Amino acid sequence: MGHSLLLSGAEGDRHPSQYRRRRVAASVSEVRSWSIDAYLARLAARNPSPAGSAVAALNAAQAAALLALVARFRVGRDHPVGEVARSVLGRAEELHDAALGLAEADIGAVDEVAAAYALPRGTEAERARRSAAIADGLLAAAGPPAELVRVGAELVGLCERMAEIGSGALLADVAAAADATAAALSISRTNVEADIAPRRGTAEAEDLAAVVGPVDDLLRRAARVRDDIRRALG
């Protein structure tokens, strides 16, 4: 769900001021230490974040972790397999960290949008300032999912490389990484499109739209990795 719909009160009786009163503040530095149960509880809570973009980021982080797992099993192999595995391992670990950082950045950006929704709107001038602040906040909130598309593009490439050197059950983990990457890419594109909608036509919005332009091709490549692996295992 895009940040604008999530924060607008468009569903039921949700209202941004309720979010600000009820939200239990969580420093973004805590995100990496959340247990799975704590993360899911926060995801299900009546708060603006974490939400879809955080889910996308964690899918990307899991994809990177799976690729690192497979690479570690192949590092000791003879050249060139071992060299490819070492290269993939190093980059997968960097992308894993980058994805978690983007989850944290998204939570911070969504909280800024929530603050904009909570601005006063009693006068026409206040409403104009509030609308501008919301649109600006949403444009900024499109940044983390747009950057996640770049992360996802690299992950697809790593999946393709690992599919060439994996074997046996490890190939199933590469396929899982490809599917997790595809989920991250698809979710991120939708969130970027939702967030830039109020500023469509501006240079900033069009730049962000261009970032998500390659997603369809990336999804096809990820699906090809999975399907090729399924055929190889069958």
**CATH value at residue 115:** 1.20.120.680
Comparing CA positions, the residue from 147, 144, 163, 145 lying closest to residue 221 is: 163
In the structure encoding, which two tokens stand for residue 188, read together? Answer: 């991120």
The predicted pLDDT at position 199 comes to: 87
Round to whole Å and give the CA distance between 147 and 169. Answer: 31
Q: Is the pLDDT of residue 183 over 60?
A: yes
Indicate the pTM of the whole model.
Answer: 0.85
Q: 86-115: buried (b, 16+ CB within 10 Å) or exposed (e) per residue?
A: eebbebbeebbebbbbbbbbbbebbbebbe
- Looking at per-residue pLDDT, the higher value among 28 and 81 belongs to 81
Domain count, the chain: 1
Round to whole Å and give the CA distance between 170 and 176. Answer: 10
Domain range holding 157?
A: 3-233
